[in-house]
Chains A and B, each alone.
Chain A
Amino acid sequence: MPSGPNHIVEVKAPIAGIFYRAASPEDPPYIEIGSTVSPKQVLCLLETMKVFTKVRSVVPGKVVEILVQNGETVGKGQTMVLIEHA
């Protein structure tokens, strides 16, 4: 996988699940397009078999695309977010 400045990093689902952009409907989304993220920052939640998994960024950068709608089901390995490596 290419890494380093200006590369686009694909954030893939580590597991099949329901994609959520916020901790709860009352909470603000973890990220928006254009958000600056740092390594280990939470990007989204996946709900699989009643368990919530936090998906964290592995790189510093900027969110350029969010490919999944809130509440949508994603498959294992599906790309959910694109981050431009800072």
Chain B
Amino acid sequence: MFSKVLIANRGEIAVRVLRAAKELGITTVAVYSDPDRESLSVRLADEAVPLGGAKSADSYLNIPKLIRAARETHADAIHPGYGFLSESTAFSEACAEAGVTFIGPTVENLRLSGNKLDAKQTMRAAGIPIIPGSLDGIGSFFEATRVANEIGYPVILKAAAGGGGRGMRICNDRAALEEEFPIARAEASAAFGDGTMYIEKLITNARHVEVQVLGDGRGGAVHLGERNCSVQRRHQKLIEESPSPGLPPYVRDGLCAAAVQGVRHMRYQNAGTMEFLVDPEGHFYFMEINARIQVEHPVTEMVTGVDLVKEQFKIAAGEPTLAENNTSHVGCAIECRINAEDPESSFLPSPGKIESVLLPGGPGVRIDTHIFAGYEVPIYYDTLLAKLIVHGRDREEAMARLLRCLDEFEVAPIQTTIPLHRRILRDPDFRAGRYYTDFLTRYVAEEEEDE
């Protein structure tokens, strides 16, 4: 096992990784930008290195600064978290050159998964169904209209280097495509440093169901069941749960088998997620592979008892990970993402100083967060403040527990998604498990539609 790990990230995931590392007896090094000087990961880490700068490009996306920090602190491994450089081949190669283990997939895995188009082609070759759309990058608005005319509107614009909803836009017609194309591309460039876009047909009444996998990099892989992440706004997940309600067992088995087949085919190494859309008839389509630990990983941890971040460390260190698809799943887990966004005002981000925080607790409750009273939410990074995850014997108990926790949870004075979660947990369709990826549109104000 490693002796010292540098955590090349910020926010709640930096804290999450740090905790796993400490429990494994690994010394931790945090890195931080100027606005993150007072962050929780800096406070909890054994050592902390300033990166300077505020914008991501000057800090958490700056490979030379991160490698220098790893060298200076003699770290023998780097954990990239999610987002930022977690799926960057350039970063993985820079780590290898510096003699530091990148805790993540192989460079070959990253080349494939990092380009969503290549991933689609590979999964198609492995016999897994994919969503109709462009199999090459779209360079201009005119090229975009050509493909959209071919597959028919509505279409969805996606960033080839994307993830987490950035650079994604649904376009109902040519006019929307013309307005959104450059903005989506700019968002993609800003978030990922790559503005390559592609287009897919929008599948309606679909459920977003994803399979958690662990691969050993030698063709061995297991799945740890699935998560339903259909409560999304602009493809940014808000609620995730496992097991997925309304999913017939034969579809679940088919999905999990396809996921394992896909990751074995590419000799995947690391924790990862195979994302699918499931239509009302139970057909499923591969969307993308997320070659990283995901935001919603605690949902799977709560039902399986497996610490996925520790498994990442083990795999990267060449130690054995789970070998069989026989993880036992107990009860139901649901996660709510508490974001610094105002659901009453088009989800406008709400940065600023947090004066007071009251965290819920009690049995079956887990909170992954980096916030505290006095913490200043910077404007430079994403809006995720906390993840509230509950576990119950069944979905009924999990929902009751979640509502109880949401009623306890207070963050002031900034706006958060907590009030929206309270409404969703009382929605009859959500409670019945009858919800699709367009579910949240019923809670989004009309004027937002033209955005």
Q: Which residues on the B side are within 8 Å of A45 (C-beta)?
A: 183, 186
Which residues of A, 4-44, contact B by the 8 Å Cβ criterion?
A: 14-18, 20, 23-24, 27
The answer to the question of B154 belonging to the interface, with a C-beta cut-off of 8 Å to chain A, is no
The answer to whether A78 has its CB under 8 Å from any CB of chain B is no
Do the beta carbons of B349 and A48 come within 8 Å of each other?
yes
Complex CA–CA separation, A50 to B182 (angstroms): 16
User: Is A73 interfacial (CB-CB < 8 Å)?
Assistant: yes
> For the complex, what is the distance from the CA of A54 to the CA of B377, rounded to whole Å?
22
**Does B344 reach chain A (CB closer than 8 Å)?**
no
Q: A16-B379, A24-B182, A73-B379 are in contact. Are A50 and B166 (CB under 8 A)?
A: yes
User: Contact at A24–B349, with CB atoms within 8 Å?
Assistant: no
B185 to chain A: which residues have CB within 8 Å?
23-24
| B191 in contact (CB, < 8 A) | yes
Question: What is the CA–CA distance of A83 and B166 in the complex, to the nearest angstrom?
Answer: 32
Q: Say how far A27's CB is from chain B's closest CB, in angstroms.
A: 5
- Counting chain A residues whose Cβ lies within 8 A of the other chain, the interface size class is 10 to 19
Whether A24 contacts B451 by the Cβ 8 Å rule is no
Against B, the Cβ 8 Å flags (1 = close, 0 = not) of A37-70 are: 0000000010111111110000000000000000
Q: Is the CB of B383 within 8 A of A52?
A: no
Contacts of B347 in A (CB 8 A): 51
Contact B351–A48 (Cβ < 8 Å): yes
**Is residue B294 within 8 Å, beta carbon to beta carbon, of the partner chain?**
no
Cross-chain contact of A24 among B186, B348, B379, B381 (Cβ < 8 A): B186
Contact residues in A for B377 (Cβ distance below 8 Å) = 49
Q: Decide: A50 and B186 in contact? CB cutoff 8 A.
A: no
- Asked, given contacts A23-B183, A23-B186, A24-B195, whether A18 binds B349 with beta carbons under 8 Å apart, the answer is no
Interface centre among B195, B340, B348, B381 (most CB of A within 10 A): B348
Shortest CB distance A83–B (Å): 21
Closest to B451 in A: A54
A20 CA to B183 CA, complexed, in Å: 11
Q: Does B330 contact A (CB under 8 A)?
A: no
Query: Is B394 on the interface with A (CB-CB < 8 A)?
Result: no
Q: Are B351 and A23 in contact (CB under 8 A)?
A: no
A73, B381: Cα distance in complex, Å: 13
- Residue in A closest to B191 when the chains form the complex, CB atoms: A50
Number of A-B residue pairs having CB atoms within 8 Å of each other in the complex: 57
Contact of B382 among A17, A50, A53 (CB under 8 A): A50
Please state if B379 and A17 are interface contacts (CB–CB under 8 Å). yes
Q: Which residues of B contact A53 (CB under 8 A)?
A: 348
Are the CB atoms of A49 and B451 closer together than 8 Å?
A: no
CB-CB < 8 A to B340: which residues of A? Answer: 49
- Interface hits, B147-187 → A, CB 8 Å: 166, 182-183, 185-187
- Give A25 to B187 CA distance when docked, in angstroms: 11
Contact A15 B349 (CB under 8 A): yes
Contact B351 A49 (CB under 8 A): yes
Which of B182, B191, B378 has the largest count of A CB atoms less than 10 A from its CB? Answer: B182
Output the nearest chain B residue to A74 by Cβ-Cβ distance.
Answer: B379
Question: Residue A50 contacts which of B183, B189, B190, B451 (CB distance < 8 angstroms)?
Answer: B190
Interchain CB contact (< 8 A) of B190 among A15, A17, A47, A73: A47
Interface residues of B in 188-215 (CB under 8 A from A): 189-191, 195
| A73 vs B348: C-alpha distance when bound (angstroms) | 17
Contact A18–B183 (Cβ < 8 Å): no
The reply to whether B379 and A49 contact each other, CB–CB distance below 8 Å, is: yes
Give the docked Cα–Cα distance between A16 and B376 (Å): 13
Which of A15, A17, A27 gathers the greatest number of chain B CB atoms within 10 Å? A15
Is A49 a contact of B182 with CB atoms below 8 Å? no
With the chains together, A27 CA to B382 CA distance in Å?
Answer: 25
Question: In the complex, A18→B340 CA distance in Å?
Answer: 17
For A48, the chain B residues whose CB sits under 8 A away are: 348-349, 351, 379
**Which residues of B sit under 8 angstroms from A27, Cβ to Cβ?**
182, 186
Min CB distance A51 to B, Å, is 5
Taking Cβ atoms with an 8 Å cutoff, the residues of A that contact B are 14-18, 20, 23-24, 27, 45, 47-54, 73
**What 8 pairs between A and B have smallest CB-CB spacing?**
A24-B186, A23-B182, A49-B349, A48-B349, A49-B383, A23-B186, A50-B382, A23-B183
Q: List 15 A-B contacts (CB under 8 A).
A: A16-B352, A16-B379, A24-B185, A24-B189, A48-B351, A48-B379, A49-B379, A49-B382, A49-B383, A50-B190, A50-B191, A50-B381, A52-B186, A52-B187, A54-B451
**Beyond A17-B379, A23-B186, A24-B182, 16 extra complex contacts between A and B, CB < 8 Å:** A17-B349, A20-B186, A24-B186, A45-B183, A45-B186, A47-B190, A48-B348, A48-B349, A48-B379, A49-B351, A49-B383, A50-B166, A50-B383, A51-B347, A51-B349, A54-B183
